[in-house]
Amino acid sequence: MRKLLASASMIALASFVSSAQAADMDSAYDWTGVYGGIVGSVGMFTGAEAADYYDNYNISTSEWGGTIGGTLGANIQSGMFVYGVEGDFSWSGLSHKTFEAEYDGGSEVSGEWNSVATLRGRAGLAVDDTLIFVTGGIALVDVDQSYCYYENCDSGSYDGYYDMFNNGWKVGFAAGAGVEHAFTDNLTVKAEYMYIGLPTATVKSEYLKEYGYEGVNFDSSAHLIRVGLNYKF
């Protein structure tokens, strides 16, 4: 009887373990599908202006800021590997401003990203309900950068002879890495680091052209910590 009970217990235990393992496999999240959501970020925005005249000055400033916007993407899962594409558009509060006291009253340097859009590939490994990924692609940024003599930027009284601007949509790149976790079949939350950088833009005012000086180089970039909430359709 003891042997019979022991055998029955072993069979029951094996059956329970097998059922639990099967249930666990069935509960693993399937990342394949289309999703949309919201994304926000905080980070450090850096703007730099440099020129090869007046003793080769270089002005660089960094300020904290943030963004908020929406996301749309799609994933395909093959085993543990997940591949996908993701795009987003965000309104931006990333900006900087500084005043350089020099010569006849000084100069004001300012920069702002009004909005930011990215289109990126994603690739990662799925471990149960968690995805660890890397991402990279292009960035489109609506930029307003200026170098103004005599604080004209602040007053709105621009002098086209001296002042220089780098405005409009610019193409750069975005790259980062992060982690995303599924709480339900449809709802996921992600956290990621992303770097967005724009190429150097060289601008000459009429004054610089007239006297043969090199132009002013405008640079800008951002290091962002982003958090997003997604819904898989």
- Are 220 and 45 in contact by the 8 Å Cβ rule? The answer is yes
Considering the chain, what is the average pLDDT of its residues?
82
Query: What tokens appear for 178 in the block?
Result: 């992060």
Residue 143: name the closest of 217, 218, 88 by CA. Answer: 218
Tens of pLDDT along 163-186?
Answer: 788 889 999 999 999 999 999 999
CATH architecture observed for domain 31-232: Beta Barrel (2.40)
Residue 100 has a pLDDT of 65
Residue 220: name the closest of 172, 163, 168 by CA. Answer: 172
DSSP H or E segment with residue 46: strand 33-50
Q: What is the DSSP string of 141-184?
A: EEEEEEEEETTHHHHT---TTT-EEEEEEEEEEEEEEEEEEESS
User: What is the Cα Rg of the chain in Å?
Assistant: 27
Please report, in angstroms and rounded to a whole number, the separation of the first and last CA atoms in the chain.
56
Residue 56 has a pLDDT of 52
- Are 183 and 189 in contact by the 8 Å Cβ rule? The answer is yes
**Confidence at 147, pLDDT banded by 50, 70, 90:** confident
Residue 152 has a pLDDT of 58
Query: What tokens appear for 180 in the block?
Result: 């995303």
Residue 91 has a pLDDT of 96
Per-residue pLDDT at 19 exceeds 80: no
pTM of the model: 0.79
* CB within 8 Å of 155: residues ≥ 6 apart: none
